[in-house]
Amino acid sequence: MRLQGKVALVTGAASGYGAEIARRFVREGAKVVLLDLNVDGVKRVASEAGKGGVAVAGDVTKRSDLDAAIKTATDMFGRLDIVVNNAGWTYRNKPLLELTEQEFDKVFDINVKSIFHMMSAVVPLMRKQGGGSIINIGSTGGIRPRPGLTWYNATKGAVNLVSKSLAVELAPDRIRVNCVAPVMGETGLLEAFMGKDDTPENREKFIGTIPLGRFSKPSDIATACVNFADDESAFLTGVVLPVDGGRTV
* Residues marked as catalytic: 152
Q: Residue 72: phi, psi to the nearest 5?
A: -60, -45
Is 60 within 8 Å of 66 (Cβ atoms)? yes
If DSSP codes are grouped into helix, strand and coil, which group holds residue 219? helix
17-52 burial, b for 16+ CB within 10 Å, e for fewer? bbbbbbbbbbbbebbbbbbbbeeebbbbbbeebeeb
The whole-angstrom separation of Cα 43 and Cα 36 is 9
